[in-house]
Structure 1
Amino acid sequence: MTAESTAKKLDTAQAPSGAPGRKHLASGKHVAMRLWDVAPGGEAPAARRDYETVGFVIGGRAELHIEGQVIQLRPGDSWVVPKGAEHAYRILERFQAVEATAPPAPSVPRDELSAASG
């Protein structure tokens, strides 16, 4: 069996943390996941990423500010942020979501990486 054909499991309790309320989940060769559980009032400066992001809202509400648009995110909604698109999130209610990035975003706190790169 090769490393590419071996199943992997990551317990959320053991997952590395990113910015407050964010955990880096399983990451493969072509995709990575992150869990959000963020308190209201959170905002991050606009950023552009070198990967595409898709997400699904489990609970709460947030706004996705992307390329001049404001998209309301509520439970049951999913979203896409294309690679290179300028975007930011504004958390309105405790926000719980899962997102995936392709190619995988770095497993070190990517939120810190964006602050360093501007």
Structure 2
Amino acid sequence: MTTDTTIKKVKSEFSPVGAMGQKYLVAGKRVSMRLWEAVPEGEASKPYSHRNYETVGYVIKGKARLELEGQEITLEPGDCWLVPAGAKHLYHVEKPFTAIEATSPPAEIDT
């Protein structure tokens, strides 16, 4: 068995920014990270789903509500959440929101 010795470091100030404002951080073979920084109050226009990956997140700052397949949870600093692959969901940002997410398999960059 071959050991992968690849190491990556990413400075977020140089990271690509996606279509919804997310900053793509580091990505490996099985997981990637992205940053949602100071997302303004408001909500996505309609529920959407990610067919190919699941998402786990951690709230750094702000407040949002997550609607997911008929359930609703409030997300505040220190909270973690999971969006399963294929689950329809919608975020309502109530206070400018900063969070970090990991996706598995890695989310593709959509700039």
Q: TM-score, normalised by structure 2?
A: 0.89
Taking a change above 3 Å as real, the CA distance of residues 102 and 91 of structure 1, as seen in their structure-2 partners, is same
Q: Which has the higher strand share?
A: 2
CA distance in 2, matches of 1:33, 1:23: 9
Q: What count of residue pairs does the alignment treat as equivalent? A: 108
CA distance in 1, matches of 2:43, 2:3: 38
Runs of 4+ in 1 over 4 A off after TM superposition: none
CA distance in 2, matches of 1:15, 1:69: 33
1:73 aligns with 2:80: no
Query: 1:63 corresponds to which letter in structure 2?
Result: R
Q: What are the Cα deviations for residues 18-50 of structure 1, in whole angstroms up to 9, with x where unaligned? A: 135420110110001110111112424211112
CA distance in 2, matches of 1:72, 1:79: 10
Identity %: 48
Partner of 1:58: 60
Unaligned runs of 5+ in 2: none
Partner of 1:26: 26
Equivalence map 1:1-118=2 (5 Å): 4-37=4-37, 38-49=39-50, 50-109=52-111
Unaligned runs of 5+ in 1: 110-118
Q: TM-score, normalised by structure 1?
A: 0.84
* Kept in 2: contact 1:39–1:94 (CA 8 A): yes
Q: Which has the higher helix share?
A: 1
